[in-house]
Chains A and B, each alone.
Chain A
Amino acid sequence: MTAVSVPIEHVLVLAAALFTIGLVGVLVRRNVIFLLMSLEIMMNACGLAFIAAGARWAEADGQIMYMLILALAAAEVAVGLGLVLQLQRRFDNLDIDAASELAG
């Protein structure tokens, strides 16, 4: 099993496709839980691109960037889900448009 047998272009195309699916999810869904899930999909796609690049040049840096993305995702989910609970308490639904009061 060699590390470079999978062509990096194909992995990058997969990462781009996953990122696009996540972006479409953020744009079309209005439920906050689904928005957070789509953000996770996008971050995961970024991690995949980093891992692919790290594997291509056989360096550890890609995996380290992936770990930092992982820490960022964990922090974002913790705060995001706290906000979801607050949204549920104040507006009694999870529609993101309910929280558009600041739009003026």
Chain B
Amino acid sequence: MSLEIVLFYLAALVSLSATVLTITRTNASHALIYLIISLLAVALIFFLLGAPFAAALEIVIYAGAIMVLFLFVVMMLNLGAGAVEQERRWLAPKMWIGPGILAAVLLLELLYLIVGTEVVTPGQGVGPKAVGIELFGPYLLAVELASILLLAALVGAFHLGRRYMRARREEIE
């Protein structure tokens, strides 16, 4: 059994267990932390499959931007008197054990890949250059459609959120 297969199974195990823990949590913040671990594991699988650009996007956009958006809303909905006590409970050291173990497995895999004797050579797998050439060649129309979708989402989210903020301001006043 070769090396990548072992790394793949480890990452798959981490990803599956983190995902199961995500949907069984009762606290949204804990679930989000497990979901981020799961996304990091999937990013490692992308890397092992020879798609480094997609792995970077997974971390930057999914685990970075989208999950932070979730966290913002979870924090925003918990304004009020019990918020401080809740914050203290969320940051209890005990709850970091599970995510910590799963993240440590991923970190060990990553260190093994970086320090290990095998060198990741460009040309194998599909690099960012090939993706870019395809993306702005035959798929140009899809890119434009995606940009229109994102613009529509921007306008929609602004509209929905603005009315929420105005109502909150009136409540406070």
Q: Which A residues contact B (CB, under 8 angstroms)?
A: 1-7, 10-11, 14, 17-18, 21-22, 24-25, 28-29, 31, 33-34, 36-38, 40-41, 44, 47-48, 51-52, 54-55, 58-64, 66-68, 70-79, 81-86, 88-89, 94
Contacts and interface: CB of A to CB of B under 8 A. Distances in A.
7 contacts: A1-B118, A6-B5, A29-B23, A38-B23, A66-B57, A74-B153, A83-B160
Contacts, number: 192
B4 A18 contact: no
B156 A79 contact: yes
Nearest to B160: A82
Majority DSSP secondary structure for residues of B touching A = helix
A26 to B, nearest CB: 9
Given A6-B8, A10-B8, A82-B161, A64 B139 contact: yes
Contact of B62 (A36, A44, A60, A76): A44
B135 interface: yes
A37 B32 contact: yes
B70 A37 contact: yes
What 7 A-B pairs have minimum CB-CB distances, sorted nearest first?
Answer: A3-B50, A82-B160, A75-B153, A25-B23, A3-B125, A78-B157, A55-B49
B65 interface: yes
Interface stretch (B73-81, B90-98, B102-110): B73-81
A34 B22 CA distance: 9
A15 B158 CA distance: 33
Contacts of B130: 60
Given A1-B120, A55-B51, A34 B15 contact: no
A74 B46 contact: no
